[in-house]
Amino acid sequence: MRKISTALQASGKLGAFGLLLAVVLAAMVSARLEAQTPQMSPQDIAPPWLSDTVTPRALDVASQIVTEDIRVMPIGPISRNAVGLLPVQVTGFPSGLWGQSKTSDLAALFRRLPMTGPPAILDLTERLALAELDPPANQSDLSTDDLFLARIDMLLARGALEPARALIERAGVDDAETFRRWFDVSLLLGQADRACAAMRANPDIAPTYPARIFCLARGGDWSAAALSMGTGTALGFISEEEADLIARFLDPELFEGEPPLPLDPDITPLRYVMRAAIAERPASLGLPLAFAHADLAPQAGWRAQLDAAERLLRAGAIEPSQWLAIATSRRPSASGGIWERVAAVQDFDASLLAGEMEAIGASLARAVTVLEPAGLLPAFASLYAERLGRQPLTGAPASLARKVELLSRHYESLALRAVPQSPEEAFAFALARGQSPLLSATASPRARALAAGFDAATLPERYAPLVTEARAGEALLLAALTLSGDGADFEDISDALKLLRYLGLEDTARRTALQLHLMPERPIR
């Protein structure tokens, strides 16, 4: 606050609004009370970077008065844990997949799922998060939304903001914890005005002082925003760091010539948007993945767009076509690192359009070399595998083309029509056909584990208790953790693949095995 006061005293250009803000800030300095940060929510397991935008709803005493001769009976309560975007006809999951599992156990597993892993597993777990499924049968309290919130939090951790927003809006944004997530998603997707309009229109949502001030300013009521800032700071509801940022957000001209604000180690979407408004937006590269969406906009700069697109692509949060559109939007002016990947994709795209076999072979080798270590080869395969499979390539380029096709959804058609040209290809083709490959005496432990996963579609012992107790969905989440490399050993890999096949997820099992086999090895014990 001392910095703010000094800047105001030194400024000779306050104007009407600046004068009001100066008076408010001066009053805050003399009337500041000991700051007390109220607990906004009982959900301590929410993502730590969420903005503190909603206060607990005050007790409505009148609503608690009920005369003795009135009895209220619930009629058909509906749990948010059952809300989804994908019906069973689309996902193929049985509606009772969660069965007898505990809501808290399922929620904990969703929150443990990593942000990256084999694309087939990312796809499976996102379908589980978005599926319309009956809530767990033993859920005693139908008002508990923990499984619903955990599904949202998993999507947010991966930067899948659009699906998260759609799922929230399907369930309804009428409670504090859900609104808090929806508000931040809207901010990060550039829809702040819509978020503020929803906050004003919902009488059950009480905004915190920073959120109220932000929305008042967005609505053009600058005087009310300044007064709210004074009141909130004096009552201890706005910290000194928040006050510094809000003051600059309300009237940045007052602080011309002042050094930028220090970096915020606990940045939230609300602070991020306010800092962006005063041209002090931090780079999203070191921030949680959800912030990367802000860098997809053209005004962020091409390098920032590329970095954000690659991060989100690896997490399955955007489509490969969106990454390709950014990567081919202009010619790189530098070399090395991300620029090498951009140039390789552009050269291959151009050679494929020209239909020159020699150029296709050379540019394909370069693309695979630079994209594979970056974890972008599956995305490249989804974009080009079908067209690449129609090219009359021979030799090493043909071998690379088959590898790319095996990493795409056309893996089985390739394995059925082509003849493997090496033991390595024979192994991959067997996986693509859902068969246990023949193993050489020098086969690696990883290869043996993948082959064992296709011995037979039997229920592994470690998952049998869960499946027989009607907890198949819980078993699936545990298998997804294993196949994502969360402390798994090779025997775990085999059993997880067998479980997928036993539950009818043959395509997911094959794609996962191929991705684990063909992509650079990750640490597995």
181-201 tens-digit pLDDT = 999 999 999 999 999 999 988
Backbone angles phi, psi at 232, to 5 degrees: -65, -40
Decide if pLDDT at 425 tops 70: yes
142-181 tens-digit pLDDT = 557 899 999 999 999 999 999 999 999 999 988 889 999 9
pLDDT on residue 140: 58
Give the whole-angstrom CA distance, residue 432 versus residue 466: 28
Cα–Cα separations (whole angstroms), residue 151 to 93, 99, 147, 271 = 16, 17, 6, 25
pLDDT on residue 520: 76
Decide if pLDDT at 512 tops 70: yes
Determine what percent of the chain is predicted with pLDDT higher than 90. Answer: 71
36-70 tens-digit pLDDT = 333 333 345 789 999 999 986 543 433 333 333 43
pLDDT on residue 78: 62
**Which residues have a Cβ under 8 Å from the Cβ of 337 and sit 6 or more positions away?**
none
Buried b (16+ CB within 10 A) or exposed e, 509-518: bbbbbbbbbb
Measured at the CA of 492, the angle between CA 486 and CA 493, to 5 degrees, comes to 80
Give the whole-angstrom CA distance, residue 46 versus residue 56: 15
Confidence of residue 485 (pLDDT cuts 50, 70, 90): confident
427-449 tens-digit pLDDT = 999 999 999 999 988 889 999 99
Mean pLDDT across the stretch 264-270? 92
Burial of 59 (0-12, 13-18, 19+ CB in 10 A): exposed
pLDDT on residue 36: 33
pTM for the whole thing? 0.87
Average pLDDT, the chain: 86
Task: Report which DSSP code applies to 422.
Answer: S
Strand-pair partners of 206: 55
pLDDT on residue 79: 80
Output the six-digit token pair for 189.
Answer: 């997707």
Instruction: Output Rg (C-alpha) for the chain, integer angstroms.
Output: 27
Confidence of residue 525 (pLDDT cuts 50, 70, 90): very low
Query: Can you state the angle between helices 302-314 and 320-327, rounded to 10 degrees?
Result: 160
Confidence of residue 457 (pLDDT cuts 50, 70, 90): confident
Domain extent listing, the chain: 1-31+208-266, 48-58+79-206, 292-408, 420-525
Phi-psi domain of 285 (left: phi exceeds 0; alpha: psi -120 through 50; beta: other):
alpha
